[in-house]
Structures are given as structure tokens and as C-alpha cells.
Amino acid sequence: MNKLIEAIDLNFDKYLSELVEFLRYKSISTNPTYSKDVKACASYLAKHLRSIGFKNAEVLDTKGHPICYASYEVNPTYPTVLFYGHYDVQPPEPLELWESPPFEPTIKDGQIVARGASDDKGQVFCHIKALETILKETGTLPLNVKILIEGEEEVGSPSLETFLIENEEQLKCDAVVISDTPMYAKDVPSICTSLRGMLYTELTIKTGKTDLHSGQHGGAVPNAIHHLMGIISSLKNNDGRVMVPGFYDDVKERTPNEKEELNRIPFYDKNYLRETGCDRIEGELGYSVLERRWYRPTLECNGIWGGYIGDGAKTVTPCKASVKISMRLVSEQDPNKIFQQLKKYLEELVPEGVEFNLDQISGVGYPVNVNNNEKAIEAAVDAIHTVHGKKPIFQGEGGSIPIVHDFKHLLNVPIVLMGFNLIEDKIHAPNEQFGVENYRNGIKIAALFYKNLGDKLRRPKK
């Protein structure tokens, strides 16, 4: 058997308890109360990387949460791979739905249960433990490695683009590898070839200076909630199409070949309904579920408030109402352009005498499509093949990793998106988990990936 694989099995208990330690940090980036915990987590990571042989691992401050950066140069003439991940996590709320406390990692029924177990600390550790194993077994690495683990992915990576631009030279590499997506299913390993982009907005409607008595004035004055509802129902039609003019201008239709490829992926509506807990499937007319989730843009309301929502009845006509609206974008859609289109559409929809305010909240993310005809992808395919005994399928993903677009365009290198967790791992939700065996296989795949990539890209010494 492969020496690396053997060593990973041998050390796995240690690797598991080290992940547990990493998961204890409350690195919640969305809530400023936890800034210290976020920072402590970055320091822990840097220290840990130093302990496995990345001597120069350091914590770099940004305007927001710090970045953990490390590198290991074997030989300047060798190729270089950059691993990117994030150590920040989503808030754990609602706490009462967790079966064990979110920051007290628990291993139960073959699952590591904790906030961040899958997204993305567990997957980050697959790479760190893989590199540790290679270093320990061979005394060196098969290529130069740079590690960039940020603490702001879950808030749209607001500081990272500047960091990339300012450190372009230092970050130069031949490929980027990321494990922040799931595999397609338990027995269906996959490599992800596209991510949707993202635009997140908050819309507030104002119909007056104050709430009014709904008996005295109801029926004679505007009601902000009713106006907001009217606007929301004009955003999408009954065919599931977004009604913002120009919204689809930069969306490319999939070719018949691509559609056929997609139809070969095993997908069953019944299973999907069970997994999501929904009783019906909805969406844009004329597209399959996978197409809707991966290759079609969408607009979704994420939260809504206004008027009186406390206990009991309060008779009032509200003067203010708000909604959070996010959009997932595909192909060539530009989030900044879409924001302007939405604003213009609202200007037409909102009647005179009613005010609206549309803000962009959270950083924007451009959609990404990666080229799967690259040596770096081959290295991943071979690694997955060896560990799972079957080749991965290529799939799209509906989620967003905003910085990937910048990697692609600033560094101009191939991107490998290979994930090890499963769609049922409840990322962002209560009882987030990562399968113990997924962790083990992830370490193995990452280790073989680095080895294969070194073999494939290594140039002869000058």
C-alpha cells in the first residue's frame, strides 16, 4: 500500500484530536463580539503550521479579521501550489437546536459535530494534515506550497482582494487548490467546476414619518408593508423568472451537450425532497433542478420585517418595512451591474410619495467557471480515483466563494475545487457535521494530490 496512506491511517487518531482542538475556537466572523476568538484561532493556526514544519507561518492583520499565511519553499525552480481555505465560521444560532454545544466538538455516529466541522475547518485540516504527513514521511514536499487561510470568507472576504493585489508577487503560483465545496454524494466523489456569484441587498420602504392608528387612518394612508409586498411580488413572475430588466443579459444558456452531461448525473426528485424537507419542487420553468441550483441565477428574499411583530394585537399602519434580498449569479453576470439594474427597476416600481432605500450589504461575489482541462485537475482526479476507487464526476455548485474569481483573474492560474464533505452535513445550520471517514479520505486525497501535482508539474532543475 502507499506509504502516505499507511502513515495517515497510523496517525489518524492524533489528526482527529487536533481537528477537535481547532474546532473549539469560536471564530465567528459575522459578530464583532467574537473578534478576539477569531484572532486567537488565527494565532493557533499559525502556531500549528509552524509545529508541522512551516517555519514562517504568520498572522497578518487586515482592516478586518487576520489572515494566516505560510509557505514552504523546496526549490525555487519547482512549481508552486497555493492552498486557500477559511477558518472563520457562521454564527451557531439557534443554539437550542444543537444536540451538543457547537464549540464543544462531539464525535457521534461516525460524525464530528461542531460549527465549522465541514465549513471549512475540517476541510482545511485535511490539507494541513496531508502536508504534515508528507513532510514527516519524506522530509520534504513534492513542490513549493503556499497556504492562505482567511478569517472573513463568511462575510464576503472584504479584506482579501486588497491583500491579493498588494501581495501579488508573493502569492505567485502555478495552481490554486480549495476544499470548500461538498462532494456530490457519499459514493459519488466530484470536482466542482463552477460557483455562483452573489449580490446581497437590503431594501427599506418608507411611507411616512410615523406609524399611525389603523382605525383613525387605515384605508386613507399608505402602508409600508403593503407597498413592500407589491414590490416583492414584482421581482419574480409565476414562471420563476426574475423580472428585473436586463437580469439575464449576461447569462449563457448551456449547450445541448452540457445539458446531456448534466442529465447523466444521478439525481432523484424524491431524494431531493427528503433531503430538503420540502413537499414540492419549484423554480424557473424549463430547467431541471440541478440546472436551477448550479447554472441559473436566482433572487431570494432572506428576511423581512416591519410594523408590529410583538405579542398580541397592535392596531397600526406601519410607515417602514424592510427586506433582505440576495441574488445568486452565473456565467458573466456582474453583481455591480445587477445592483444598478435592480435599483433602476425599483425606481420605476415605487410610486411617487413613497421612498425606498436599497443598500448593498456584504461584499459582492462574481460567478466562477473553472477550466477542467488542466494538469492540476488531472492530479485531483487521480488522487480521488486512488482513494475512492472511482473517478470523480464534474459538477457545478450553487454556493459562492467570492475570492475564487479574484484568484482566477489576478493570479491567472488553474483552480481546483475538490471537496470532501456531503450536502447533508448541515453547513451554516444547527448540528453541522463532518464524517470521520470523510476527514480521513480528505487527508488521503489531499496528500496524493500534492504528490501527483508535484510529479506532473515539476520542471527539471536548471
Q: Which of 180, 211, 397, 425 binds Mn ion (CB under 5 A)?
A: 180
Binding of residue 66 to ligand BES (CB under 6 A): no
- Name 6's Cβ contacts closer than 8 Å, sequence gap at least 6: none
> Hey, what's the torsion of the CAs at 98, 103, 105, 109, to 10 degrees?
10
> Any idea how long the chain is?
462
User: At CA 253, angle to CA 249 and CA 258, rounded to 5?
Assistant: 160
Residue type, 339: F
Of the pair 350, 429, the CB lying nearest ligand BES is at 429
Q: What DSSP line would sit under 165-219, residue for residue?
A: HHTHHHH--SEEEE--SB-SBTTB-EEEEEE-EEEEEEEEEE-SSS-EETTTTTT
Greatest CA span in the chain, whole angstroms? 87
CA 405 to chain centre: 13
Shortest Cβ 397–Mn ion spacing (Å): 11
**If phi over 0 gives left and psi between -120 and 50 gives alpha, with beta otherwise, what is residue 157?**
left
Q: Which of residues 336-375 bind ligand BES (CB under 6 A)?
A: 362, 365
Q: x/- string (CB under 6 A) for ligand BES, residues 100-119?
A: -------------------x
> Which of the stretches 238-246, 268-276, 284-292, 392-400 binds ligand BES when contact is defined by CB under 6 A?
392-400
Shortest Cβ 186–Mn ion spacing (Å): 20
Shortest Cβ 212–ligand BES spacing (Å): 38
Q: Which of residues 159-198 bind ligand BES (CB under 6 A)?
A: 180-182, 198
Q: Which of 399, 414, 435, 442 binds ligand BES (CB under 6 A)?
A: 399
Q: x/- string (CB under 5 A) for Mn ion, residues 358-387?
A: ------------------------------
Shortest Cβ 402–Mn ion spacing (Å): 11
Q: Which of residues 104-123 bind Mn ion (CB under 5 A)?
A: 119-120
- Site size for ligand BES (CB under 6 A): 16
Binding partner of 400, given Mn ion, ligand BES, none, CB within 5-8 angstroms per partner class: ligand BES
Binding of residue 154 to ligand BES (CB under 6 A): yes
| Helices 335-349 & 224-233 angle (0-180, nearest 10) | 120
Report the C-alpha gap between 374 and 413 in whole angstroms: 10
Binding of residue 223 to ligand BES (CB under 6 A): no
What backbone torsions phi and psi does residue 72 show, to the nearest 5 degrees? -140, 110
Binding of residue 147 to ligand BES (CB under 6 A): no
Binding partner of 397, given ligand BES, Mn ion, none, CB within 5-8 angstroms per partner class: ligand BES
Binding of residue 152 to ligand BES (CB under 6 A): no
Shortest Cβ 354–ligand BES spacing (Å): 30
Shortest Cβ 193–ligand BES spacing (Å): 12
Of the pair 341, 360, the CB lying nearest ligand BES is at 360
> Which of the stretches 101-109, 152-160, 289-297, 339-347 binds ligand BES when contact is defined by CB under 6 A?
152-160
> Which of the stretches 102-110, 129-137, 311-319, 396-404 binds ligand BES when contact is defined by CB under 6 A?
396-404
Q: Which of 18, 132, 153, 425 binds ligand BES (CB under 6 A)?
A: 153
- Name 437's Cβ contacts closer than 8 Å, sequence gap at least 6: 110
- As to burial, measured by CB atoms within 10 angstroms (0-12 exposed, 13-18 middle, 19+ buried), residue 113 is buried
Of the pair 10, 97, the CB lying nearest Mn ion is at 97
- As to burial, measured by CB atoms within 10 angstroms (0-12 exposed, 13-18 middle, 19+ buried), residue 254 is middle
Report the C-alpha gap between 49 and 89 in whole angstroms: 20
Binding of residue 150 to ligand BES (CB under 6 A): no
Binding of residue 150 to Mn ion (CB under 5 A): no
Shortest Cβ 151–Mn ion spacing (Å): 12
Report the C-alpha gap between 324 and 402 in whole angstroms: 19
- Name 415's Cβ contacts closer than 8 Å, sequence gap at least 6: 175, 176, 177, 178, 368, 370, 376, 404, 407, 408
For residue 81, give Cα distances in angstroms to 37, 371, 416.
29, 17, 10
Using CB under 5 A, list all residues that contact Mn ion.
Answer: 119-120, 180
Enumerate binding residues for ligand BES (CB under 6 A). 119-120, 153-154, 156, 180-182, 198, 362, 365, 397, 399-402
